[in-house]
Amino acid sequence: MSPPMPLPHLTVLLVLFATSAAQAAADRSSSSSSSCGGGERCGDLLLPFPFHLNSSCVSSTTNSSSRFRLSCDTTNATLTLPLGSATFRVLGFLPSGSLLLDYAPAASPSPSSPCDPAYAAFSRPSSPAAALDAAAAFLAVTPANVLRLYACEDSSLCRAGCEDVATCGRAAAGAKSGCCYPLSDGSVWKPGDGLGAFAEFGCRGFSSWVKNRSAAAPGVVRGIEVEWAVPKGSEMAACADGAVAVNATAVRGGVRCACAAGLVGDGFAHGTGCSKGTSCSNSGQASDGRECCQGRFCSKKSVALADF
Q: What are phi and psi of 243, to 5 degrees?
A: -130, 160
d(CA 274, CA 293): 9
Supply the pTM of this predicted model.
0.74
**pLDDT tens digits, 98-131:** 999 998 765 544 544 555 667 888 877 778 999 9
In-domain check, residue 54: no
For position 26, what pLDDT does the model report? 43
Phi, psi dihedral angles at 236 (to 5 degrees): -65, -25
Domain enclosing residue 179, as ranges: 84-228
Is residue 162 a part of any domain in this protein?
yes
Q: How many domains does the chain have?
A: 1
Is residue 107 domain-resident?
yes
Is 102 within a domain? yes
Please list, in sequence order, all residues whose beta carbon lies within 8 angstroms of the beta carbon of residue 299, skipping any fewer than 6 positions away.
none
Residue 173 lies in a domain: yes
Asked whether residue 266 carries a pLDDT value surpassing 50, the answer given is yes
| Residue ranges in the chain assigned as alpha helix (H) | 7-36, 57-60, 128-134, 163-166
On whether residue 38 sits in a domain, the answer given is: no
Does residue 197 lie in a domain region?
A: yes
pLDDT tens by residue, 180-196 = 899 999 898 999 999 98
Q: Is residue 112 assigned to a domain? A: yes
Provide mean pLDDT across the span 262-266.
93
Q: How many CA atoms lie within 13 A of 303 on its CB side?
A: 21
